[in-house]
Amino acid sequence: MKSAILILSGPSGAGKSSIISAAADKIGDFYFSISSTSRQPREGEVDGRDYHFVDKEEFERGIESGDFLEYAVVHGNYYGTSLKLVREALDAGRLVIFDIDVQGYHLAKAKMGDLITSAFILPPSLSELEYRLKARATDRDDVISKRVENAKKEIKEIGAYDFVIVNDDLDRAAGEFVAVANAARLKLSNKERELFVKNWLSS
Amino acid sequence: MKSAILILSGPSGAGKSSIISAAADKIGDFYFSISSTSRQPREGEVDGRDYHFVDKEEFERGIESGDFLEYAVVHGNYYGTSLKLVREALDAGRLVIFDIDVQGYHLAKAKMGDLITSAFILPPSLSELEYRLKARATDRDDVISKRVENAKKEIKEIGAYDFVIVNDDLDRAAGEFVAVANAARLKLSNKERELFVKNWLSS
């Protein structure tokens, strides 16, 4: 299967992780892109699962040599997506899946737009989003409020996405995600297209 | 399921009809758009299967009242796609599938681009295309040559399409078509998106 990039955005609480888990055995080999950070691991965080933990100097050398698809500094710590890991996964024919916010999507699209298919995933309603965030009880009330406000802003940008998945039923949403992921593999990058046309015409 | 438009292009001999038949029970309710024409039916042609046969005056009244998504005159006869039939199918929640050429695709995109997902379907190679056209023995040699020349021109425009399906194995191509068709339903038109965002925010 051909490599491709699939970008997922949507509020925390949309169920993106559950959808990917439910769809994992129906979309071929994929690489879920994990951010790199220069901050210290927190209790319970695992290197390579939650983040790729690298030291500040290594991160800065990476920036110097253009190794990040996008990066930001938050509270003095670097966070970013290693282009090297993405490229390795693409070279191995994998579907590279990103879970990033709308801003990160625009940055990635500016750099590798011809490789990217995108989907915005969201819960069926604003009230359901609030309910899910409260029910999972991992965030403080002020964090939940901030997430909800953020979702209200982000949903206004869904027009920038190719597809919209509403997660009111996990099975159905996972099925829709499978369709989007498998369609994403059928998108040719500019480079792939040039080669394809050349080969086809001489075959 | 939500309605949407899926446009398929690709050379005669790519196997578009076989792919749609093989995928038909996995893509929900759909309407395969059939062109209208003012020319007389040829032997073996069936009204509503090969074309919608209408008389010249009726066709011209349709043009006057803006009832065609696109139309052309060939050898003095009208050929076109009735917007009314497309709209009825969309209102019924169907996926409307078009098999049109690159030029028709651009015309449709200019009119209803926000509703359209597109795929270019082609045989694995130029020599395979020639082989298939000769094997089915329905066209004269000069017609086959013309189809092959046309395919060479059209493949250079695949960059205008969202997805590319190579039909070297019918099962695989049909599976890819299912993914594209089901993803197409997840694309929101401008009107649908406005309504969706409004409803979501107030829910």
3-state secondary structure of B169: coil
Beta carbons of A197 and B163 less than 8 Å apart: no
Crossing angle (nearest 10°) for helices A16-23 and A170-184 = 70
Distance from CA of A118 to the nearest CA of B (A): 11
pLDDT digits (tens, 9 = 90+) for B9-55: 999 889 998 999 999 999 999 999 988 999 999 888 899 888 999 99
B34-92 has which CATH code?
3.30.63.10
- Across residues A159-164, what is the average pLDDT? 97
The CB-side HSE value for A70 (13 A sphere, CA atoms) comes to 17
Is B202 within 8 Å of chain A by CB?
A: yes
Q: What is the pLDDT of residues B167-185, one digit of tens each?
A: 999 999 999 999 999 999 9
Q: In angstroms, rounded to a whole number, what is the distance separating the alpha carbons of residues B63 and A80?
A: 55
pLDDT score at B137: 76
Interface ipTM above 0.85: yes
Domain boundaries, chain A: 1-29+96-203, 30-92
3-state secondary structure of A65: coil
A122 vs A164: CA distance, rounded Å:
8
Reported as type and span, the H/E element at residue A178 is helix A170-184
Q: Residue B185 is inside which H or E element, if any?
A: none
Residue B200's closest chain A neighbor by CA? A125
Report CB contact under 8 Å: A187, B152: no
Distance (Å) from the C-alpha of residue A15 to the closest C-alpha of chain B? 16
* Helix (H) or strand (E) run with residue B96 in it: strand B95-99
Containing H/E element for B57?
helix B56-64
How many whole angstroms separate alpha carbon A118 and alpha carbon B21? 28
- Determine the distance in angstroms separating the CA of A31 from the nearest CA of chain B, rounded to an integer: 20
**Chain A residues touching residue B188 (CB < 8 angstroms):** 158-159, 164
Q: Sort out which chain A residues have CB atoms less than 8 A from B180's CB and list them.
A: 179, 183, 186
Looking at the domain A1-29+96-203, which fold is it?
Rossmann fold (3.40.50)
For residue A42, the model assigns a pLDDT of 86
| pLDDT confidence band for A127 (50 / 70 / 90) | very high
Highest mean pLDDT among A59-73, A180-194, B135-149: A180-194
Average pLDDT over residues A83-106: 91
Its sign, for the CA torsion A117, A123, A126, A129, is negative
CA distance A7 to A79: 18
Cα–Cα distances in angstroms (integers) from residue B160 to residues A9, A116, B70, B71, B177, in the given order? 25, 15, 18, 21, 18
User: Residue B91: beta bridge partners?
Assistant: none
What pairs with residue A101 in β-bridges? Answer: none
Calpha distance B47→B54 (Å, rounded):
9
- Say if B1-29+94-203 and B34-92 have the same CATH topology: no
B99, containing H or E segment: strand B95-99
Residue range A30-92 forms a domain whose CATH class is: alpha beta
CA separation for the pair A16, B101 (Å, rounded): 38
For residues B77-105, give the mean pLDDT. 91
Residue A26: predicted pLDDT? 95
User: How many CB pairs below 8 A link A and B?
Assistant: 95
Q: Tell if the CB–CB gap between A126 and B188 is shorter than 8 Å.
A: no
Say yes or no: A132 contacts chain B, CB-CB below 8 A: no
- CATH of B1-29+94-203, picked from 3.40.50.1580, 3.40.50.300, 3.40.50.150, 3.40.50.620, is 3.40.50.300
Is the CB of residue B27 less than 8 Å from the CB of residue B183? no
Beta-carbon separation of A176 and B196 below 8 A: no
Choose, out of B163, B178, B191, the residue to mutate when testing the contact with A (most A CBs < 10 Å): B163
A55: left (phi over 0), alpha (psi -120 to 50) or beta: beta
